[in-house]
Amino acid sequence: MNADVKLYAGLYDGNQKSTLEIDPKRKGYVHLIKGSLEVNGENLNAGDALMIAEEDQINISHGKDAEVLVFDLHEGDVK
């Protein structure tokens, strides 16, 4: 991948919570591979994705058998 990106992966099932600090000038992209999850107050189900802009945190919680990928992207790399 030739881009200014950080990639994170996580497994959530139960009470686990994570907060990822991001620069508000960057974008966050969350892709839920399987299960269900709450991201910044939005409920996601398997296959869902969420673009996060002008935020300084990505908050992940309430996972149920969830596998998730989180991208911290430079705005210019988002097409």
Residue-level pLDDT, tens digit, the chain, 79 residues: 667 899 999 999 999 999 999 999 999 999 999 999 999 999 999 999 999 999 999 999 999 999 999 999 986 655 5
The yes or no reply on domain 5-77 and CATH 2.40.50.100 is no
In this prediction, residue 76 carries a pLDDT of 63
In this prediction, residue 1 carries a pLDDT of 60
pTM value is 0.88
Strand partners, 39: 42, 60
Q: How buried is 76 (Cβ within 10 angstroms: 0-12 exposed, 13-18 middle, 19+ buried)?
A: exposed
In this prediction, residue 74 carries a pLDDT of 85
